Structure 1
């Protein structure tokens, strides 16, 4: 289904098929040219070819599935984040309309407007109301219109005079007058005649003196502008996928590319996530991969009914290369260490790696055993030719599988890196959007007539507290609201428990009183505050000005952000239950503002080296994006780390030095860091070994054949005549005896005779004093030992080579009787030394 759209995988499949044909040719050649010599090898060759055939199917299936999973994961993340951001934004609108509908001056204006006998007063109050609406809209640029209407639908005043409206017949007015709370409307409306549709939040207004319902307030959200911002931030930069907002009937509300998929059309959806979308969906004669996510409640607000975010990518575009190789240029040891934990982050990849390794080791063991058993045999040349063919074809097979596994590994890591970068971007976006609301809230509320008159006239503090309590019920993200006078005395406050202090500090008071206009605010740096129970938080302030003398500051309002749960909610929403991922808000100095990791509470300093943080930010700069991600080691773990700078939202953060710089940091752990010895044991380096005088030895036949292997991190050798065969360590029955190097026993049938048990000993422990690290590569060599045999555990097999006696030299480490390798084999022109194990010394070591 998907393979025709993945040319790289199709090419891999063709190469694997050609290799399978090569294995069949080798089998046929062995049967015809040396049937007697190859009779013991043929069953293993058939099993190996069959194993490669199964691996071919598994590899292709895994490559296809991982590529599909990566696309679906990216689409799903973008869709989930887009709808989450939108719902959080709209929640704030529901609170705004509830607050502004109780503004005493506006409510009085609406109540008094019916009495138009005093035209001069009417004109003055209209101008004042219009200025007031403009002042609110200037602080909240998410609104493109604010209107006040009487109960009959007459528009009394509006903020946007470029599209004048005199009267409305929209049914939302009757619905709003009948409702106790806000009404959310999205469609065409005569309130916004220049727009084909509008998102309106409306709330009825009451006369502050009589309590009678006198009119309706309408806040018109700048919907198209907001959707453009979301599309820009969370749509795939390559624009191969289209991002959509859908309604309850799966019709397009808004499209990132309306020329491709316009608003109003109905599209297929996939609300089941990656598990339910392993098939393409047809739309407009084209097949797509689709991911759809609906609204999650935020602070009890469910979002507009049935709204969903959706990403759609055509199959013919879905699998095109979308970025640089994330492995290329990375530290090889880091990449190998990460890959060693494949079982944790990609079980299919781990299973495939294990199967390929097992098959490759089987081929190596077939060749190694064949070379060992044919040493010194004048009739073994034909078999050696077959063995060389097996070895060469096995190397080609291994190289192809290794390259394909690397591609699979690259796909998995690229998906993790992309997810981490997008999550980091989402987190700072959520933070800035949230703090944007906090900065605007305090400035909105500073305009409240009851607060301004109360402070100017030294009036009833209880009346101020009543206003604050009403606001706090609407805006649940605050732990406390408080109002203070020109001397810094807190005159009223909300919040649980008694007020812990009576005054704001002198520095804060001075900064608030020095604010130049109603558009300015002051925010205290994130730090512990008595007003927040001693915990760290942000506190936003705005100056409250005299109702008739705007230049005269009569006090201020402070809003204590409920930072603990609110910041944690953002972080947990971003990581979405991924247990191996931790998210942090930090300052550039690495102070923690919030964390999903209990080991790093707010106020702590994150133990991340400054060099690593700088490297992450530099990666973001190189990418030309706000987020950067790298593979690295952190706190004893292999991690993918991503970092994003808080860059602002709308006009928020435009004023330098007002807001505290914040970074979002993601750390996704894949497993503990391996030491060098573990990594060496997991994959012994492919060292080429050539005899020092290979041509001469081959020509005269006077050399000695040596079986070469890896043990204890070194290359070692035994004369081939002393070795019977090698078998995988998995056949060993673990049964330690009274010798510290004994690791178990093995049942064997040497020479095809009856089975017998032999003890297996750890050669690395005997030779170096350090126990072997047992891996899937571990092998056991059966070695002739007196009249019987023993097994020697080694890290891996290497090759069988012939060396002349001139290639041997005494080992400087082998002078003592306890040394197991008194001689060294000088290979590769003397640049490579191989330790020759002395079996007599080994026997002595085992007896003692």
Structure 2
């Protein structure tokens, strides 16, 4: 995702294409206008009566104007970032998958070019063209990524090929001379007379040597089925809504593969965006958002020079998709806890939440300040009603807008994690597909087949030489070994493998190899601890070695030990692409960990996953928000679906799930299931009078205090924590401003934690935490609560004694308010009891006072206490 913030002019460009943000902007502008009208009305119609609230109204209007701009710009930025994340992940996937695939081709051509039977034929030692054609076809049957294999002599004469649709006799392609002059493979992508029916061909070539003299005798060409491979990638990982086109580009930024060539054809030049900027790019008269990625290479192989993966989405459809609602269905506690870490995963979201709460506090304070105004202040009352109504509308709009912003941010993170999991499991399937090819092809080695069939005295040495040659080219194995029909290992590579010679294959693996019906079949041992991998878990791929003259007769087999430790771990690391905030694992259906980047989930351990994740069908992916290792996290899973014929039609089944975690921060105690939007208080505007209460949240409960005893609320950040107090509920002191203190004298008050007073446990401090300044006669104190709610009048008939109050005479909540016709109960705090207990040290039970909280502060010569 691009981290570059949008400028104001860029925001204006994108905004017309975001209908939902446009509606939000218009609503914000309407409310902004309402605040201006209310302020102007108060100044003109009742300037004297409104003088106490005019500064608050001015502060509200100013803060609202600033938040309006920040909120709209953040919504636009996050939506643009969401689209760039979506198309960027797929663009990077395209180039990474291609490079990893082509890396295997470089090993293939090096191995096949040394095949003794093929080299003997090219050197002219025999002319059994039918036998060679059969052998090349057998190779193609194993490695289905090739659509043509060609053998040529040093003059370019075609000696053998497998594609009957393009019969060749001679080639004058310069790649032949380049290959003959090189002792490495040559990678060519362009038009070639070797593939006359193709606009461009991707060919891997290597020179071949005389098996006895070592003289250069010809060239082997492996022609990669480029079009088929790219079509498969685009089909599996393209945009189902067809809003985005995926492309593969060459070093001149020309399209060499297109998911939709009718839209962006092969051969055209397109703009690229290598610096991941959120700018718009013009192509064919249409504006696009573009993401472009090069490859970091794979195991030292850089990929074809200059190749790029790219995704392009037109601006006019980029923001038209209907995304899932990720927020409404979440557990409120999980939602609140995750949002408390917004400063870590989305600082703009955090800043907007803080700003919105600041405005809500200003409005709440304005409502508290004017509560209980009576007499001939009818004009002011009308203004106050407008303040209350507009404040409620503002709060609802903030909730909705922040919900949308939160949704977009989480959507980007969920999508990124889900795509990453999909990429990882696809990398695994593609990699292991090559392993199944290798074991079957090497089992066809004439030298191995003859040595096992004849058992000459030097059979072990002959097989050792073949295995060593293979292993030098394929570094993903710890050892290769050959065993006879009884399962006795006769030859093995590597120092560790030498210890296997003379040992016997396990009965279950040997029986499985003996049952293999044809050279197209193979066997893979389960991923579990194996002596062939030092007692650690790994896959061992087996293929039957058959008699050179009687293919139905199995004379032994070959086992290739996959180096699962580093290879699986490297796949995970490469799929994460350096994103340190993510962890990735491969697990099976039972949750057993095959490999992991997390030290808390080592290979062999068990990961607990819900059934919704472990029961996903092959090829399906799912991401969810959860808690993991004591932190809020996104958990994304994707189940293997095979590659080409591997795990699809070849009879092999071994489901692996890629799991990706992104952590956001430690789990925090929520304030309960009640939330502001769940506790809207219905109010009949036609009713007159009533008792006004200031409502707030504390420890998951909606509570109230008489508005007349509440002066205002401030952020808990203004509190100075101290350990001077004797009362368990004291959390610190709060300095009052001159306007808050009697006679304009600066002073300090104690702040008490209402949650601890009520339930004996400290409240969780969050960015929501507020301190209400209460006055009772000449006394004042601060009360820590979780969040402010509203200021609302209630009829006296709505107050009833609390049934819980009978259980203890010392309870601070002796009444409940039945709001919304009794559907919402609000606990009313008894202000007299609260002040008597905290300020005068009088126990409501009548016992002798044990402490006097105000006295500690009053005795301190450094402070002055209001009392």
Q: Which moved more, 1:777-786 or 1:472-481?
A: 777-786
Superposition map of 1:204-219 within 5 A: 204-219=207-222
Query: Secondary structure of the residue that 2:123 maps to in structure 1?
Result: helix
What is the aligned partner in structure 2 of residue 470 from structure 1? Answer: 469
1:628 CA displacement: 2.2
Partner of 2:382: 385
Alignment match of 2:97 (pick from 82, 85, 88): 85
Residue 610 of structure 1 and its aligned partner are, at CA, apart by 3.5
Deviations 1:243-280 (A, max 9, x none): 1111111111111122222222222111112xxx1211
Contact 1:608 1:634 in 2 (8 A): no
1:712, distance to aligned residue in structure 2 (A): 4.4
Q: Secondary structure at the match of 1:48?
A: helix
**Pair 1:634–1:111, CA change in 2 (3 A):** same
Structure 2: runs of 5+ lacking an equivalent: 1-12, 842-849, 851-867
State which of 3, 25, 28 in structure 2 corresponds to 1:16.
28
Task: After TM superposition, give the deviation of residue 231 of structure 1 in Å.
Answer: 1.3
Measured after TM superposition, the shift of residue 641 of structure 1 is 2.3
Question: Cα–Cα, structure 1 residues 544 and 430, in superposed 2: closer, same or farther, change >3 Å?
Answer: same
- The alpha-carbon deviation at position 800 of structure 1 amounts to 4.6
Name the CA distance, whole Å, in 2 between partners of 1:600 and 1:810: 50
Contact 2:546–2:553 (Cα < 8 Å) also in 1: yes
Alpha-carbon offset, residue 320 of structure 1 = 1.3
Aligned to 1:610: 611
- CA change 1:635–1:102 in 2 (3 A) is same
Distance verdict in 2 for CA 1:828–1:244, change over 3 Å: closer
1:745 matched residue in structure 2: 734
Contact 2:692 2:791 in 1 (8 A): no
Aligned residue runs from structure 1 range 115-264, under 5 A: 122=127, 125-264=128-267
Distance 1:34 1:776, change over 3 A: farther
Q: Distance in 2 between matches of 1:327 and 1:710?
A: 21
Find the counterpart in structure 1 of residue 754 from structure 2.
763
1:518-667 matches, cutoff 5 A: 518-610=519-611, 612-614=613-615, 617=616, 626-655=620-649, 657-667=651-661
Change (3 A) 1:594 1:315: same
TM-fit CA distance, 1:180: 0.5
Per the alignment, residue 507 of structure 1 pairs with 508
Counterpart position of 2:9: none
Distance 1:553 1:167, change over 3 A: same
8 Å CA contact 1:709–1:799 kept in 2: the answer is no
Which is further off, 75-84 or 833-842? 833-842
After superposition, the CA RMSD in angstroms is 2.6
Residue matched to 1:799 = 791
3-state SS of 1:31 partner = helix
Task: Specify which of 802, 805, 818 is matched with residue 810 of structure 2.
Answer: 818
1:435 is matched with 432
From 422, 431, 436, the equivalent of 1:425 is 422
Write the deviation string for residues 338-385 of structure 1: whole angstroms up to 9, x where unpaired: 33332222111111111112211211121122215x2xx313443232
CA contact (8 A) 1:737 1:744 kept: no
CA contact (8 A) 1:149 1:157 kept: yes
Q: Structure 1 residue 181: deviation in Å?
A: 1.5
SS of residue paired to 2:144? coil
Query: Of the candidates 394, 397, 400, which is equivalent to residue 397 of structure 2?
Result: 400
187 and 612 in structure 1: CA distance in 2 versus 1, 3 angstrom threshold = closer
The match for 1:116 is none
Could you report, residue by residue, the CA deviation over 1:677-733 in whole angstroms, capped at 9, with x for unpaired residues? 3676x8695352769xx99xx76x6x6555544444444444454444444433333
- Give the whole-Å Cα distance in 1 for the aligned partners of 2:399 and 2:798: 38
What is the CA distance between 1:474 and its match in structure 2? 0.9
User: 1:450 — aligned with what?
Assistant: 447
Query: Which whole-Å CA distance do the structure 1 matches of 2:419 and 2:704 have between them?
Result: 53
> 1:746·1:791 contact (CA, 8 Å) conserved in 2?
no
2:719 is aligned with 1:732? yes
CA–CA distance in structure 2, aligned partners of residues 793 and 675 of structure 1: 16
Q: CA deviation at 1:649?
A: 1.0
State the alpha-carbon separation in 2 of the partners of residues 158 and 404 from structure 1. Answer: 65
- Give the TM-score of the pair, scaled to structure 1: 0.91
d(CA) in 2 for partners of 1:304, 1:5:
38
How far 1:670 moved relative to its partner?
2.7
Displacement, 1:754? 2.8
Structure 1 pair 715–384 and aligned structure 2 pair: CA distance change class (3 A): farther
Deviates more, 1:574-583 or 1:598-607: 574-583
Evaluate the alpha carbon distance shift between residue 750 and residue 380 of structure 1 in structure 2; reply closer, same or farther with a 3 A threshold: farther
Alpha carbons of 1:774 and 1:675: their partners in 2 closer, same or farther (altered >3 Å)?
A: closer
Provide the C-alpha distance between the structure 2 equivalents of 1:135 and 1:350, rounded to a whole number of angstroms: 61
Q: How far off is 1:840 after superposition? A: 4.8
Q: Measured at CA, do residues 793 and 643 of structure 1 come closer, stay the same or move farther in structure 2, by a change above 3 Å? A: closer
Query: 3-state SS of the aligned residue for 2:156?
Result: coil
Distance 1:370 1:648, change over 3 A: same
Secondary structure of 2:296 counterpart? coil
In 2: Cα distance, 1:722 partner to 1:772 partner = 23
Normalising by structure 2, report the TM-score: 0.89
Contact 2:590 2:614 survives alignment (8 Å): no
Match of 2:81 in 1: 69
| 1:802 Cα deviation after fit | 5.0
Q: Name 1:686's counterpart in structure 2.
A: 679
Q: Which residue of 2 aligns with 1:118?
A: none
User: What are the Cα deviations for residues 39-95 of structure 1, in whole angstroms up to 9, with x where unaligned?
Assistant: 121111111111111111111111111111111111211111111111111111111
Taking the aligned partners of 1:569 and 1:469, their CA distance within structure 2 comes to 24
In structure 2, the CA distance between the partners of 1:819 and 1:329, relative to structure 1 (3 Å rule), is closer
Deviates most, 788-797 or 826-835: 826-835
Residue 720 and residue 434 in structure 1: after superposition, are their counterparts in 2 closer, same or farther (change >3 A)? Answer: closer
State the alpha-carbon separation in 2 of the partners of residues 738 and 579 from structure 1: 44
Q: For residues 482 and 224 of structure 2, what CA distance do their matches in structure 1 show?
A: 29
1:317 is paired with a residue whose SS is coil
Instruction: Report the CA distance between 1:810 and its aligned residue.
Output: 6.8
1:669 aligns with 2:663: yes
Paired residues for 1:337-376 under 5 Å: 337-371=337-371, 374=373
**How many angstroms apart in 1 are the aligned matches of 2:52 and 2:292?**
58
Q: Map Cα deviations across residues 613-656 of structure 1 (whole Å, 9 max, x no partner).
A: 33xx2xx79xxx62222333444433322222211111111346
| Change over 3 Å in CA distance of 1:158–1:22 after alignment to 2 | same
Q: How far is the alpha carbon of 1:560 from its aligned partner?
A: 0.6
Query: Which has the higher mean CA deviation after the structures are superposed, 378-387 or 71-80?
Result: 378-387
Q: Which moved more, 1:239-248 or 1:805-814?
A: 805-814
Cα distance in 2 between the residues matched to 1:741 and 1:354: 26
* Cα deviations by residue, 1:174-210 (Å, 9 ceiling, x for unpaired): 1111111211111111111222221111111111112
Distance, in Å, in 2 between the alignment partners of 1:509 and 1:384 is: 92
Q: Secondary structure at the match of 2:644?
A: coil
For the residues of structure 1 that align with 2:120 and 2:273, how far apart are their CA atoms? 50
Change (3 A) 1:192 1:793: closer
Tell me, what secondary structure is at the counterpart of 2:764? coil
Is this contact kept in 1: 2:340–2:766, CA < 8 A?
A: no
Aligned length: 819
1:332 Cα offset (Å): 4.1
Residue number among 61, 68, 74 corresponding to 1:49 in the alignment? 61
Q: Is the 8 A contact 1:826 1:834 kept in 2?
A: no
8 A contact 2:670–2:700 mirrored in 1: no
Partner of 1:416: 413
**Cα deviation per residue 1:117-144 (whole Å; 9 max; x = unaligned)?**
xxxx73xx11111111111111111111
